Amino acid sequence: MQRTRCSVMMSLAMAVAALGMDAARGSTQAVPPGAPPANAVTYVGNSGFLLRAGGKAILIDALFDGFPGAYTLPTSVREPLLAGRPPFDGIDLILATHRHGDHFSAAVVRRALESNPRAVFVGPTEAVAALTGLGDRARALDVEVGQRGTLEVNGIRIDAMRLSHGTPPPGRPDIVNLAYLVTAGGVKFFHTGDIDVSVIPTSYLQGLGVPDDRVDVAFVPHFLLGVSGPLPFVTEGIRPRFVVASHLQYTDAPLNEDQIRRNFPNAVLLRTEGERWVVP
């Protein structure tokens, strides 16, 4: 009898502890029908996410075709995404960090803009140049190294800054990668895009004032979160409340969940397209 009571109490304690951990991290779930929660992140694919906060909806790096023979979005996500159906309806802002095919496709962006008449696309000049004829619905952000560019679209504040994608091979042009700090309804999201931390010192982000912005959620490539110890680029350069692992496809690096959890106990791992996390 005593053993049974102890087992029950232990099970209850473990359940309470698990609930506390879920509350700290937020909850994850497959996207159900009905109205989405006020503040939530939905994984689209690769580095693509749908952000909802303060009644605003933002797609970032979510509209891409990828590369021939490689990963493509499942139909269950791609069709509602392009048609502007729930949960991908009422989009206010579409962002692309850079023009690579696993982050941006001009044709896919055009279809999404047609399905979301209020939406505006913002990206580097290289991406906007591929979206001719859209007028003010496609806006370029030209940001110099070490500077921040600011824009407000549909009540959403965008702070853009250049983070190096890496040194290009000889004879190849440099690719402009813009990181975005997006503020909607008081919630701050930071998306790094593709970055080479070997050429971006932590002091660079500090000089841009990112740690002082009090970022709520940072999207960082999973292979940077899973290195042998917590990366100062994240812990000191961004200082987010939560980190979400990005770039789950188009990489040879396997997802090292155990190491990510050791480095960042507040990490959020969304593995399945359409999976949603409610921001606490």
Question: Nearest CA to 233 among 261, 213, 204?
Answer: 204
Given a contact cutoff of 8 angstroms between Cβ atoms, the answer to whether 87 and 50 are in contact is yes
DSSP of 83-120, one letter per residue?
Answer: HT-TTS-S--EEE-S---TTT--HHHHHHHHHH-TT-E
What is this structure's pTM? 0.88
Whether pLDDT at 134 is above 50: yes
Mean pLDDT, the chain, rounded, equals 89
pLDDT at 37: 74
Tokens encoding 250: 């188009």
pLDDT at 35: 65
pLDDT at 186: 95
pLDDT at 192: 98
Q: In this predicted model, what pLDDT tens digit does every residue of 67-86 receive, in sequence order?
A: 888 899 999 999 999 999 99
Whether pLDDT at 25 is above 90: no
Whether pLDDT at 170 is above 50: yes
Q: In this predicted model, what pLDDT tens digit does every residue of 250-269 receive, in sequence order?
A: 999 999 999 999 999 999 99
* Percent of residues, the chain, with pLDDT higher than 70: 87
Give the model's confidence band at 31: pLDDT under 50 very low, under 70 low, under 90 confident, else very high: low
Whether pLDDT at 43 is above 60: yes
Q: Average pLDDT of 76-102?
A: 96
Q: Average pLDDT of 45-50?
A: 98
CATH 3.60.15.10 fits 33-278, yes or no: yes
Range with lowest mean pLDDT among 35-49, 82-96, 131-145: 35-49
Give the model's confidence band at 206: pLDDT under 50 very low, under 70 low, under 90 confident, else very high: very high
Question: Nearest CA to 186 among 86, 23, 91, 56?
Answer: 56
pLDDT at 173: 73
Whether pLDDT at 7 is above 70: no
DSSP of 10-74, one letter per residue?
Answer: HHHHHHHHHHHHHHHH--EEE--SSPPPSSEEEEEETTEEEEEETTEEEEES------TTS----
